[in-house]
Amino acid sequence: MKKFITLFTLALVFTFANEISAQEVKFPGLDKSPADIALYRGGDRRSPVLIKTTYGRPMLKGRKIGTELAPYGKIWRTGANEATEVTFYKDATVGGKKVKAGTYVLHTIPGEKEWTVILNTNLNVWGAYQHDASKDVAKFTVPASTGGQSLEAFSIAYQKEDTGVNIVLGWDTTRVAIPVKM
């Protein structure tokens, strides 16, 4: 009986110790620019993933693209917080440049009529502050367009084309399509 009481007492101590410890953890609230992932499968939901983009989604909050957000002519992380990363699961041609399968940081230099797109191997960086041009694997320009539905949150989607897929960046009424062939 004494053995039972000792085991029972130990079980209670461990139970309450774990509960007290777990209650002391401070969990952060939702991020102001939540992280998101966009996947391109090339088919239905059962198809293998061909491209994955991980990015932060900043909000307009009444601010203007090109001046207050994503300033024209300056390198941008293409989202919020950590730099946007894009993974190609097969070798691809991106903006006419051959790119090996792998993960790259996606930087852009926004402009009123065109954006420069940069794929870089310097991963796990915050913002564009650590951009090292010697690690660029592709750099090209694509046209920027405006019109259509205004998007409050910066968004990335895929648009299937006859010759491949576009990675489409959208914010407010700005749209930028990055052509990819796999």
Q: Tens digit of pLDDT for each residue in 166-181?
A: 999 999 999 999 999 9
Rounded-to-integer distance, Cα 6 and Cα 32, Å: 50
The candidate with the shortest Cα–Cα distance to 138, out of 118, 122, 123, 121, is 118
The pTM (predicted TM-score) of the whole model is 0.84
CA angle centred on 63, ends 124 and 125, rounded to 5°: 5
CB burial string 151-179: b at 16+ within 10 A, e below: beebbbebeeeeeebbbebbbbebbbbbb
Q: Which parts of the chain sit beneath pLDDT 70?
A: 1-22
The helix (H) or strand (E) run that includes residue 169 is strand 164-181
The candidate with the shortest Cα–Cα distance to 112, out of 144, 141, 81, is 144
pLDDT at 30: 85
Strand partners, 119: 106, 138
